[in-house]
Each structure stands twice: as structure tokens, then as C-alpha cells.
Structure 1
């Protein structure tokens, strides 16, 4: 076993790989909240198909995104600050096909360094290291 290198995980996701992520504490119940999650790039409908196949779910089921709380208002409107994925928000970018449900919404989880430093480091690496969707 070796230490997790966030940049390597980000590179895998950038290539289109789907990653199983399990870190820190666990939660009881249906929500991963960034500690036990399946992670993938949010850009294509193909990602939704692949994820639903992996999870053995119906094809129409939407994929829930994790975003930095500071960036959430740039991509979503509604009850944007939501660390527990309780609310649906309207997606404001056509580039986020994998996480946009047919009605234009997504059930978004927002994260901060205080709540989940590991997933924040990964998201920051993908956004800044690979030039993923940068908020205007």
C-alpha cells in the first residue's frame, strides 16, 4: 500500500476513468458525502450510462455532483450550499451533461476544507491542474 496522491487520482478521472473513493469516516444511509463515492468527470452522457451500469441502476437515474462550496453558485442556482445533498439545484452550464437530470437540475453536495479536506484537494487539483471548467 502507498499514500494517496491526489494528482494521480485527478489524472485518472481526466482520462475518463471511474474511481472508487473511500477515505476517512463512513456514513450510515444512502449518501456518500465525499467519503465513500464513485467519482467521474461530469461532462458526458456516456458517464451517466457507465455509472448507472456500475451501480446497477435504471438508466434514467441522475448522478449527483460534488462541488466546492465556493464555486457552487457559479454552476448552480437554488439552495446552493448543501453539504448533505438534500436539495435540487438548477444547473447553469450545458457542459455538465453527466450530472444534469432531464429537468435541468442536480442534487448537489457542497464541500469545504473543514468538512472534507481530501475531496477538496482532489477537486482543486482537477479544476486548477487540468483546466476543467473554470468559473467565469
Structure 2
């Protein structure tokens, strides 16, 4: 998006002299006028850009906060539930105790692998978390760049 330089040239405020044929003929009047006009245009441009960066910082901060909340909700889906391992171990323990009570000590039941050993997150969960992470990264990078631009 191009930033438009405002029309601030007011002939009543600036009496624009004719540029001299040789440097220094008019005592620097032309260059003082040019400096004043250029400084006012630059100040207006910098003020406008800083206002745009302020808006970007607010938006990026809010977006990063909301995105972090969603990421915190979906991140636990990337790891196995420890309760599943506990339930599997209790089931094996109950089978061993049942064999002991029934007097069948000669053979212990084979233990199945724990659910956490065979766990892999669903493809949709991976995709959603990757997109949340990438968008959070972009929001933080844009905030960082806006702060750098604001301080410049």
C-alpha cells in the first residue's frame, strides 16, 4: 500500500523563490524554503507511518493472544493420554491377579504394548497445530518488525 504525501504546499505560507543561477546568489533563501517544506512533508509522512505501525501492533498483539489460546487448546492432542497407559497397566495387573487367584501360576498373560508406545496424532491435528504455529510465528515476527519500525 503506497503512502500518499499530503498536499501541504500552501502558497500563502511559502513564498517559493526562483532557484538561483549560481549557488549562493540569493543568500540561501531558496534552500531554506526547500528545507522547511521538505521537513514538514517528512514529518507528516513519519507521523502517518507511525500511526499505521501502531494499528499493526495492536492487531498483531490481539491476533497472537487469540492464536495462542487456540494453540494451547489443541496442543495436548499431540501427545498420548497418560490415563490410557494407567488403564492398560491396571488391566494387565488385574489379569495377573485373576490368574493367581484361580491358581494358574504357570503362565502369565502376555503384556500388550502400552498405548503411548503406539500413539501417533491424527493428521488433522498435526495440520491444525502446524497452521496455528506458523500463524503465531508470523504474528510475532510482524510485531517485532513493527516495533523496530516504530523505534526507527
Write 1 or 2 for the structure with the bigger share of helix.
2
TM-score after normalising by structure 2: 0.18
State the structure with bigger RCO (CA 8 A, min sep 6), 1 or 2: 2
Write 1 or 2 for the structure with the bigger share of strand.
1
TM-score after normalising by structure 1: 0.19
User: Which structure's CA Rg is the greater one?
Assistant: 2
